[in-house]
Structure 1
Amino acid sequence: MDFVEHVSTKKGYSVEDHRFISILSSKIVKRNDGHYEMPLPMCRDEVRFPNNRLAAVRRALQLKRKFKRNSTFKEHYIAFMNGILAGYAEKVPESEYGITNGSVNYIPHSGVYHPKKTNQIRVVFDCSAKYEGVCLNDYLLQGPDLMNGLIGILCRFRKEEVAIMADIKGMFHQFYVTPKDRDKLRFLWWDGSDFEQKMVEYRMKVHLFGAKSSPGCANFGLKRAADDGEGKFGEIAANFIRDDFYVDDGLKSLPTIQQAIELVKSSTEL
């Protein structure tokens, strides 16, 4: 009974959980580049946001003042943002500035350091930042708990002689957001990371670290990838992806080194 995989311990889905699953199941698509794309799972079909651009501008100016006080923080932040802009965000055309129909939401962002890695920054998008009493996370569905049981993963990990450990780099960023939902993920940054230039509007193309729905979307997408790839890459690799990952970390043991190597290769390809 310690194992959540046991059928009698699984909880039934709530109405919101069923809506989350229905939205993703019906609208997830596999892109030509192999990534999966899905909508933001909203609590209702029609959601209108207040124009919170001014709040995002204020937060950006606070960030700029912090850059002036701390050059190391500024350097790390720019490096992280350049990576975001290169692969995971797109510029908003100037013709789409000033939309006031409630479909646009701006997300402020800030930098946090890992407590044990003082030179490793992560820029977090604050989807809980409220403006006029609401924020993006208020409207996002969290979805059901799709994570595997950690006790089960750890106990199965001890079964065989050869151990492997895996990590999915930037897991949330591997899953794209449907284009019509990207205006809910706008943010401000300076053109060319030059703080003497004007601020430019961008929007994220991928699911965010900081959005309430992202863990559920990423877990749903990962399991869909395992289901879709099982026929081509094998049941062992699919079961590893489905059953032996805890969020983005995988643990598995096998009887021989050769089997471990084959599993790593097939799982990576999947």
Structure 2
Amino acid sequence: MNNLVGVLTRFRQEKIALIADIEAMFHQVRVCENDCDALRFLWWPGGDITKPPKINCMQVHLFGATSSPSCTAYALKRTAADNANSYEPEVISTVNKNFYVDDYLKSVSSEKKAVKLARDLQSLMSLGGFRLTKWLSNSRKVIDLISEAERAPSVVKLEPGTSLPSDRALGVMWNVNDDTLSFKVKLTDKPLTRRGILSVVSSIFDPLGLASPVTLQAKAIIQELCKEKLGWDEEIP
């Protein structure tokens, strides 16, 4: 598995950014027959709950299994390794360094390189049974050269003169039009306790630490409350 911070940092290293998603990635990777018994489940024949349930086995990896991300990431990188002689080194390197589970994030220096890389990646991924879809870029020219069927839903019908939308890049809000990363904080009515403050602070997803000047102040308050030995649900001074 690639490092989350590393993938996000490289994502905005160059001028032209690209993001995409592997469609139903876990279900594209088969489970070895000898391992299928580890993924057994009960189900009623034909969905009829009046009949005794039967034992079934998953033949593909499933969401929720601890093993699935690692196994499918291996299959993805094995696809690149098996076809390394047929594609340029940058394409193979992209598969190895710019995916986080099923999310692809990459930046390149020009629109021409972005379009070529996108086409080469789609071709390479198809050899492993993966479909790379939901494409989005901060370049309208790049988006226009990607078929509508493969674009992100927010840019399927992109009218001239309209602003590019905001989207999430590995959980971080990306304003595509302004090409900025931002945070959308929804403050809920929480009690003024250690538990309430921690709940609000923990709701802000910030793997790069960009919001630290704000969140560290709240974390310092929690630290002081711990030193005061206040309980989780005691009202703070």
| TM-score, scaled to structure 1 | 0.42
| TM-score, scaled to structure 2 | 0.47
Report which of the two structures shows the higher radius of gyration computed on alpha carbons: 2
